[in-house]
Amino acid sequence: MRTQAAVLYQAGTDWKVEEIELDPPGAGEVLVRVAAAGLCHSEEHHRVGDIPFAGPMIGGHEGAGYVEAVGPGVSLAQPGDYIVFSSIPNCGRCPSCVRGRQNLCDVAAGIMTGRQISDGGSRHRNLAGADLTITCLVGCYARHTVVNEASVIVVDPSFRPEAACLTGCGVATGWGSSVYAGGVRPGDAVAVLALAAKRGRIVVTNIYPMTDTRPRLALSGLAQWEKQIVGCIFGSVNSRADVPMLLDLYKHGQLDLDAMVTRTYPLEGINQGYQDMHDGKNIRGVLVM
Ligand SMILES: [Zn+2]
Ligand SMILES: [Zn+2]
């Protein structure tokens, strides 16, 4: 089928919104009509050259949409389902998943290749016939995408896509970094930058630039005050359980997703959305397809 996507051809250039060819879903894969996609800063790292990528690449790993078709053997979703993309796949079967570490799912080992989990192929091509990779195995800066079923979380269809999509990356990462990795409880005092009290825990959830090797540390201070430094990816969440849970908090007024959606843009407005992020005009811009 023909659809449209925002493609990054090389670092230092803008996103190019263009027609692409999309194959039907293969075994274990689903075709999703994307409804909304958050403008996460991670793609901007690729665009400016901080993080290398296998290109040309369709961006977008934080999104929500509707399953339109499924390939053979799919059991986690069916046509008509409303889904949030899991920005790290969650297969539910690998050793990491069955031990409760779904954010470290083993099938994410090839996430930087941007190619399908099942066969290493690509379902997306530009009109010149070149394979297109997909960010985080999602590629939701597009009107449609094909992903492995491990990358979709079926959720209650009542949540508007602009808000729901945030739980697939940014909100899950922020919430889980605090609650799971940081062990934050109601009443705790926390600093959102590195600044630790006795027995304080520093959660490293963002690295900029990617090759950064700092900081140098006085290790005696870690020992004497029992400080801890822990790494954290995707908020240490189990997306299959925590995305619906975060949406439930939203439903009951305990998590204000609406306030985090500063501005919305059409797919063609992607470059403006990222410029507005740099200019401080949005905290989270969201593409609405
Ligand atoms: Zn993200
Ligand atoms: Zn897994």
Domain identity same for 157 and 41: yes
Please confirm, yes or no, whether 169 is among the known catalytic residues: yes
Residue 255 CB neighbour total at 10 angstroms: 20
Give catalytic status of residue 252 as yes or no: no
Question: How close is the Cα of 136 to the center of ligand 1, in Å?
Answer: 9
Mean pLDDT along residues 153-173? 97
pLDDT at residue 3, as a whole number: 98
Which of 127-141, 148-162, 168-182, 209-223 has the weakest average pLDDT?
Answer: 209-223
Catalytic residue flag (residue 45): yes
Q: With bands split at pLDDT 50, 70 and 90, how would you rate the model's confidence at 210?
A: confident
Asked if residues 25 and 70 have their Cβ atoms less than 8 Å apart, the reply is yes
Residue 25: CB partners within 8 Å, gap ≥ 6? 31, 69, 70, 71, 74, 123, 146
Ligand number, closest to the Cα atom of 238: 2
Identify the band that residue 194 occupies on the pLDDT scale cut at 50, 70 and 90.
confident
61 is catalytic: yes
pLDDT for the residue 70:
98
- The alpha carbon of 156 and the centre of ligand 1 are apart by a number of angstroms equal to 22
Q: What is the pTM of this model?
A: 0.94
How many other C-beta atoms can be found within 10 angstroms of the C-beta atom of residue 219?
A: 9
Per-residue pLDDT band at 271 (split at 50, 70, 90): very high
14 & 153 share domain? yes
Phi, psi of 45 (to 5 degrees): -60, -40
> Please, what is the average pLDDT of the chain?
95
Residue type for position 273: G
Ligand 1 centre distance from Cα of residue 287 (Å):
14
Same domain membership, residue 80 and residue 188: no
Structural domain of 220: 175-231
Which of the following is catalytic: 46, 61, 124, 144?
61
Q: Which of 231, 256, 274 is the last residue of a domain?
A: 231
Domain shared by 19 and 46, yes or no: yes
What digits encode the pLDDT tens for the residues 80-104?
A: 999 999 999 999 999 999 999 999 9
Q: What is the CATH number of the domain that holds 15?
A: 3.90.180.10
The verdict on whether 232 is a catalytic residue reads: no
* DSSP character string of 30-92: EEEEEEEEE--HHHHHHHHTSS---SSEE---SEEEEEEEE-TT--S--TT-EEEE-SS---S
Ligand sitting nearest the alpha carbon of 148 = 2
Would you state the structure tokens that stand for residue 68, as one six-digit string?
């339109």
Protein residues within 5 Å, CB atom, of ion ligand 2: 91, 94, 97, 105
Residues in the chain: 289
pLDDT higher than 80, residue 223: yes
